[in-house]
Chains A and B, each alone.
Chain A
Amino acid sequence: MTLFEALDLGLAAIVLGVAAWTVAVREVFSAVIGYVAYGLLLAIVWVRLYAPDVALTEAAIGGGVTGVLLLTASARLSRLPAPDAAPSAGLKIAAAALAFLVAGALAAAVVYLPDPAPSLAAAADENLAATGLGNAVTAVLIAYRSFDTMLEKVVLVLAVVGVWSVAPDRVWGGAPAALGPATPDAALVFLARMLAPIGLVIGVQIFWVGADEPGGAFQGGAILAAMWMIVMMARLTEPPRIGSGWLRLGLIAGPAIFLLIGLAGPFMAGSFLAFPAGFAKPLILFIEAFMVLSIAVTLPLLVAGSPSREAGE
């Protein structure tokens, strides 16, 4: 067994152990903290799968932003009474049997995957030069499967609309509740002041290098979003009113620019969402820049949740 194989086995054991602890631990708060740690460990597994782009996304969104979302939710729900009914032993045994069955079937499927594996890597590599990009994953996201990526941005906007619309009528147009405590820890305020400017630069850098190296609009946008959230958690700024025109413009800028350039495709390059030869890279970076903006606005709004204060407050 080589060193890397041993490390892989150790990593696998730790990830599964932390996941099991996360779902088994009694307090919801501990479970959420466990989930954040587990998200970061999962990112290392992705690195071992030669997927640095996915690792960055998993660490930033899967671990970080989802962690803040669940943490905020557990704090807001902590005053509620615990549910009365614990599951019966019979249900537990049946659930365990089902879980073993499904996990076993999946593991078998992994072992018996077709050999040689089907792959689109050759096709992706062949046309990479035409997009002017160096990172094949970014090329798949913004060029080859751009329709998917555009619709995904629309899904994010729909999620924000969904989150806002569960609010009672009287607070419509108001602001979500503050993310942090009334008097935040001095260390948190210091961290927000120190980290936010640095994170801003790193977020933009990760977006910019994403054209050729691991990184991209999602990962960069998620880091910018995290910076806005940490500033809100330190109460240096408050969540914005959802009625704000600028906020809504930032929210839809990404999908709107994407759609406009897509609609210009038939005139410039012959089909919807096609990029004219030679101009692909600047157009892709232009779209991505607005996507970064929209992601950086959308994720904190999803975490902040429904408005709970009236517009005048």
Chain B
Amino acid sequence: MSPSIIAGFVGAGLVGIGLYALIVNPEPLRKLLAFNVIGNGVFLVFGIVSRRGAIAGFPFDPVPQAMVITGIVVAFAASALAVALMLRLAEEAGRVTLEADKSTKPDEGARSP
């Protein structure tokens, strides 16, 4: 078994762990963390594509690697934006939750007489 295949299974496992945590954890910050774990898993699977693209004299295909580097930076930017939204929500509402409470249901206004 080559090292690249093992890392591919790690990537698949990380996607599974992250997906489970994303659904089960109610706290938004934990969901963000889980989402990052899914992202890492996807990057690792893509890393296998790079490693398997090795040809004479080149131990890897540089194109997927460059795309993963771009991906890591963009993932960080998206996480920072998510954190900013959470902090603002906390400041405004005093709590951070994804549960719809009565006053924020979009159809509340339409139903009231």
Contacts and interface: CB of A to CB of B under 8 A. Distances in A.
B45 to A, nearest CB: 6
A141 interface: yes
B84 A306 contact: yes
Interface centre among B5, B9, B67, by most chain A C-beta atoms within 10 angstroms, is B9
Interface in A111-133: 111, 113, 117-122, 124-125
B85 A28 contact: no
* Residues of B contacting A: mostly: helix
A173 B102 CA distance: 35
A273 interface: no
B85 to A, nearest CB: 6
A167 B88 contact: yes
Interface string B1-28: 1011111111111111111110111110
A62 B3 contact: no
Contacts of B51: 49-51
A49 to B, nearest CB: 5
Interface in B24-50: 24-27, 29-30, 32-34, 36-37, 40-41, 43-45, 47-50
Interface string A26-53: 0010011001001000100110111101
Given A19-B17, A156-B77, A159-B77, A70 B62 contact: no
A237 to B, nearest CB: 20
B63 interface: yes
A106 B11 contact: yes
A91 B15 CA distance: 18
Interface in A81-119: 81-83, 85-87, 91-92, 95-96, 98-100, 102-104, 106-107, 109-111, 113, 117-119
B90 A31 contact: no
A65 B66 contact: no
Interface centre among B8, B55, B62, by most chain A C-beta atoms within 10 angstroms, is B62
Is the interface on chain B under 10, 10 to 19, 20 to 34, or 35 or more residues?
Answer: 35 or more
Interface in B50-78: 50-55, 57-63, 65-70, 72-78
A54 interface: yes
Is the interface on chain A under 10, 10 to 19, 20 to 34, or 35 or more residues?
Answer: 35 or more
A85 to B, nearest CB: 6
Given A80-B90, A119-B54, A73 B83 contact: yes
B83 A305 contact: yes
A86 B67 CA distance: 38
Contacts of A124: 58, 61-63
Contacts of B5: 110-111
Given A61-B76, A95-B24, A49 B17 contact: no
29 contacts: A4-B3, A5-B1, A12-B9, A16-B17, A23-B17, A24-B21, A31-B30, A35-B33, A45-B10, A57-B68, A57-B69, A69-B80, A70-B33, A73-B29, A77-B86, A77-B90, A85-B26, A103-B17, A103-B19, A107-B12, A107-B13, A117-B49, A120-B63, A124-B63, A137-B62, A145-B63, A159-B80, A299-B76, A306-B87
